[in-house]
Amino acid sequence: MQTGGLGYDVPAGRRDGRISLASEASTNLPPPTFTVDQLTQFFSNKGLTQDEMVTLSGAHTIGRSHCSSFSNRLYNFNGTSGQDPTLDPQYAASLKTQCPQGSTNTNLVVPMNPSSPSITDVGYYVDVLRNRGLFTSDQTLLTDTTTATQVRQNAGNPFLWKNKFASAMVKMGQLGVLIGEAGQIRANCRVINS
């Protein structure tokens, strides 16, 4: 089996909420249709820099996406009947077989970094450079000279990216922390205390 990944220390003792609402997640997450300027503004509103935005986007080296998050790039891009011209045609063809037009199966998912979907590597940046970023919000990073340079740097320097990613994740973990008596410090970070 192929191995790879990244480990870093996570500061403990953060006060966290007792309830989790899907509606709160959707207002705090940027949509996959965002452009680089919209993403930069969105992250800036959270106190994160553009470089941190590019660094954190590398999380899309693992995991899966539902077809609905990108099917607009395959079938009716910008109101046309065609596909997004910035998407690699071979990749688009493969996505179309995995996500047939008009499918009513809302459970269909595809890996975001097909070459190594469960390994935390720089595969995401390599994909983006090949016009194989799954979302508009991934591919848009090539449209700005600064973010395009960061994509190339991360693609070519896994050590640099992993260090920046660990720092940015720790910084993100310090956002919106509850204080005083609000919430609780979890004994197990995945679940509320019983």
Q: Which residues bind ligand HEM (CB under 6 A)?
A: 30, 32, 34, 39, 53, 56-57, 59-60, 62-66, 69, 135, 137
* Nearer CB in complex with ligand HEM: 106/180: 106
Which residues partner with 16 through β-bridges?
184
Q: CB of residue 192 vs ligand HEM: minimum separation in angstroms?
A: 21
Rg (CA), the chain: 18
For residue 144, the one-letter residue type is D
User: Shortest gap between Cβ of 117 and ligand HEM (angstroms)?
Assistant: 9
Angstrom distance (rounded) from CA 139 to CA 148: 10
Residue nearest to ligand HEM (CB): 63
Residue with tokens 């500061």: 11
Residue 69 or residue 83: which is nearer to ligand HEM going by CB?
69
In the complex, minimum distance from the CB of residue 194 to ligand HEM, in angstroms, rounded to a whole number: 26
Nearer to ligand HEM, 65 or 157 (CB): 65
Tokens 């037009």 sit at which residue?
101
Nearer to ligand HEM, 83 or 137 (CB): 137
In the complex, least distance from residue 27 CB atom to ligand HEM, rounded to whole angstroms: 13
CB 72 within 8 A of CB 33: yes
Burial class (CB in 10 A: 0-12, 13-18, 19+), 175: exposed
3-state secondary structure of 53: helix
**Closest distance of CB 134 from ligand HEM, Å:** 8
Backbone angles phi, psi at 130, to 5 degrees: -95, 15
- Complex with ligand HEM: residue 69 or 116, whichever CB lies closer: 69
> Least Å distance between CB 181 and ligand HEM?
29
Question: By C-alpha distance, which of 82, 55, 71 is closest to 135?
Answer: 71
Contact present, 58 and 124 (Cβ < 8 Å) = yes
Nearer to ligand HEM by C-beta: 62 or 95?
Answer: 62
